[in-house]
Amino acid sequence: MPANLTPQYLKAEAEYRRASTPEEELECLQVMLRELPKHKGTDKLQAELKHKISKAKKEQQLGRSAGGSRSGGVRLPRQGAGRALIIGAPNAGKSQLLASLTRATPEVAPYPFSTREPQPGMMPWEDVMVQLVDTPPITPDVLDPVTIGLIRGADLVLLLVDLGSDEGIEGLQAVVNKLNTTRTRLAKTTYLDENDIGLVFTKTFLVFNKIDDAEAADRMELFHEFCEFEFPEFVVSAEQGTGLEALRDAIYHTMDVVRVYTKAPNQKQADYDRPYTIHRGGTLLEVAELIHKDFAASLKNARVWGSQVHDGTCVKGDYVLHDKDVVELHT
Ligand SMILES: Nc1nc2c(ncn2[C@@H]2O[C@H](COP(=O)(O)OP(=O)(O)OP(=O)(O)O)[C@@H](O)[C@H]2O)c(=O)[nH]1
Ligand SMILES: [Mg+2]
C-alpha cells in the first residue's frame, strides 16, 4: 500500500471490504479515489480504483449484485469494538470457542457439520465488548459464500486447528488451500492488493484447540515440523478454558480502539457503564457521530478529562482521543 494514506481513505477502504451492496461499494470506491494522494507511486492504484468504479456503476445500472463474493444478502449487524470471525475445518471446536468466550449458546456436537449458519456472540473485555462470529466448517468441497463475505469484512480471523484428531493438520491445510482459490485470503495483517483491490487479505490468528487432548502436544510438534504459516499462534482448550485469557486480550488489542466516556454538562460523573469505542487516532468528531449523526455537525467544542490533558481542557472536533478520555460535548 502506498504511504501517506489519509484516515478517510483507510476508513473508506475498511467500509469497502464490508460493503454488501453495489451502492455501498461504489460510494466507498469514490471516497477512496478522492482521498488517494495523486502521484506516480499511486498510478496503478488510481487506475484500479477507476476500473472498479466503472464496473460498480455498470453493475448498479443492471441492478445486479457486485460479484459472487458478497455476503449473499445475510445481514449480521456489527456490534461492539470490532468483529473476529471463527473459522476452521469440521469439528475443530469453533462453536465451543464461541460458547466459552461469550454468552452465546451455539450447538456444540461431537460430529462434523453441526453449524450451518453464522452465529454471533459478544465477548467481554474489561468494560467493552468485541463481536465474535462462529461459522459453518470449511472443507475442500464446501465453502459458504456467506463465510467468504464475512472473512473480507472481519477485523480478525481466528483460524482453528483441531489438536484432538490426527486429521487436524490436514483439515487446516484444506481450509487455507480452499481460501487460496478465492479472492479472499488470510494473512498476518489486513490489506487490499494494490494491483487488484478486489483481492482482500484479512489478519489471522492461528488457534490450536483441544490442547487438553493426550496427543495434542505431539500433533503440534508435527505441525511445526511440516507447516510454515506466518500467523501469530495461540494454544487453547476451548472446553477447559486453558489459554483463553491470552487469546481474549490479543483479540481485543487487535481491534486497536480507544474507549471514550461521555459526560452530560449538568452531571458530575461520566457515564462509566457504556464507553464508546473508536479507532486509535480517531477524533472527537467521530465520537460525536457515534452519539448522533446531527451531533457532529452542530458540535462547537468539548471539555476533556484524561491522562494526556489537564482536567477540563477545552478542545475542538479534531482533538485526537486517548484511551479512557472523558468528554463533555457542547453544541
Ligand atoms: N477435548 C476437547 N474437546 C473439545 C474442545 N473444544 C471442542 N471440543 C469438542 O469437539 C467437538 C466439536 O466441537 P464443536 O464446537 O461443535 O466444533 P465445530 O468446529 O463448531 O464443528 P462444526 O460446526 O461441525 O464445524 C465437540 O464434541 C466438543 O465437545 C476442547 O478444547 N477439548
Ligand atoms: Mg460448530
Q: In angstroms, what is the span from residue 1 Cα to ligand 1's centroid?
A: 38
Average pLDDT, the chain: 92
Per-residue exposure over 24-45, b if at least 16 CB sit within 10 Å of its own CB, e if not: bbbbbbebbbebbeeeeebeeb
What pLDDT was estimated at residue 22?
Answer: 83
In degrees and rounded to multiples of 5, residue 317 shows phi and psi of -60, -25
Tell me the residue length of the chain. Answer: 331
- Among 86, 32, 303, smallest CA distance to 202 is for 86
Does residue 95 have its Cβ closer than 6 Å to ligand 1? yes
What pLDDT was estimated at residue 62?
Answer: 80
C-alpha cell of 252?
481485543
Q: In angstroms, what is the span from residue 42 Cα to ligand 2's centroid?
A: 43
In degrees and rounded to multiples of 5, residue 271 shows phi and psi of -85, 95
330 vs 325: CA distance, rounded Å: 16
pLDDT digits (tens, 9 = 90+) for 81-105: 999 999 999 999 999 999 999 999 9
C-alpha cell of 108?
456444540
Confidence of residue 60 (pLDDT cuts 50, 70, 90): confident
What pLDDT was estimated at residue 72?
Answer: 47
Residue 64 pLDDT greater than 90, yes or no: no
What pLDDT was estimated at residue 112?
Answer: 94
CB distance 21 to 30 below 8 Å: no
Residue 55 pLDDT greater than 70, yes or no: yes
Does residue 90 have its Cβ closer than 6 Å to ligand 1? yes
Residue 281 pLDDT greater than 80, yes or no: yes
Q: Which residue owns the Cα nearest ligand 1 atom 9?
A: 93
Q: In angstroms, what is the span from residue 72 Cα to ligand 1's centroid?
A: 27
Q: Which residue owns the Cα nearest ligand 1 atom 12?
A: 91
Helix (H) or strand (E) holding 222: helix 216-226
Q: What does 13-41 look like in DSSP terms, one character per residue?
A: HHHHHH--SHHHHHHHHHHHHHHS--SGG
Q: Angle at CA 28, nearest 5°, toward 191 and 143?
A: 55
Confidence of residue 106 (pLDDT cuts 50, 70, 90): very high
What pLDDT was estimated at residue 11?
Answer: 87
Residue 71 pLDDT greater than 50, yes or no: no
Please compute, for residue 330, the number of CA atoms within 13 A of its CA located in the half-sphere on the CB side. 12
In degrees and rounded to multiples of 5, residue 150 shows phi and psi of -70, -40
Q: Which residue owns the Cα nearest ligand 1 atom 1?
A: 210
Residue 176 pLDDT greater than 50, yes or no: yes
Residue 272 pLDDT greater than 80, yes or no: yes
Does residue 164 have its Cβ closer than 6 Å to ligand 1? yes
Does residue 238 have its Cβ closer than 6 Å to ligand 1? yes
Per-residue exposure over 219-228, b if at least 16 CB sit within 10 Å of its own CB, e if not: bbeebeeeee
In degrees and rounded to multiples of 5, residue 205 shows phi and psi of -105, 140
Amino acid identity for residue 120 in this structure: P
272 vs 263: CA distance, rounded Å: 9
Does residue 100 have its Cβ closer than 6 Å to ligand 1? no
Mean pLDDT over 255-284 rounds to: 93
Residue 67 pLDDT greater than 80, yes or no: no
What pLDDT was estimated at residue 69?
Answer: 40
What radius of gyration, in Å, describes the C-alpha atoms of the chain? 22
Q: In angstroms, what is the span from residue 70 Cα to ligand 1's centroid?
A: 28
Which of 70-74, 118-122, 187-191, 200-204 comes out lowest in average pLDDT?
Answer: 70-74
Q: Which residue owns the Cα nearest ligand 1 atom 3?
A: 210
Does residue 212 have its Cβ closer than 6 Å to ligand 1? yes
**Ligand 1 nearest-atom number relative to CA 114:** 24
Q: What is the pTM of this model?
A: 0.91
Q: In angstroms, what is the span from residue 162 Cα to ligand 1's centroid?
A: 8
**Ligand 1 nearest-atom number relative to CA 91:** 21
Q: In angstroms, what is the span from residue 119 Cα to ligand 1's centroid?
A: 15
Q: In angstroms, what is the span from residue 93 Cα to ligand 1's centroid?
A: 3
What pLDDT was estimated at residue 1?
Answer: 62
**Ligand 1 nearest-atom number relative to CA 115:** 23
**Ligand 1 nearest-atom number relative to CA 137:** 25
| Smallest-distance ligand from the CA of 138 | 1
Residue with cell 466516556: 261
What pLDDT was estimated at residue 2?
Answer: 65
**259 in helix, strand or coil?**
strand
Q: Which residue owns the Cα nearest ligand 1 atom 6?
A: 93
Residue 65 pLDDT greater than 60, yes or no: no
Does residue 171 have its Cβ closer than 6 Å to ligand 1? no
**Ligand 1 nearest-atom number relative to CA 98:** 15
pLDDT digits (tens, 9 = 90+) for 209-246: 999 999 999 999 999 999 999 999 999 999 999 999 99
Check residues 268 and 249 and name the one with the higher pLDDT. 249
Confidence of residue 74 (pLDDT cuts 50, 70, 90): low
pLDDT digits (tens, 9 = 90+) for 113-172: 999 999 999 999 999 999 999 999 999 999 999 999 999 999 999 999 999 999 999 999
Confidence of residue 70 (pLDDT cuts 50, 70, 90): very low
C-alpha cell of 259?
474507549
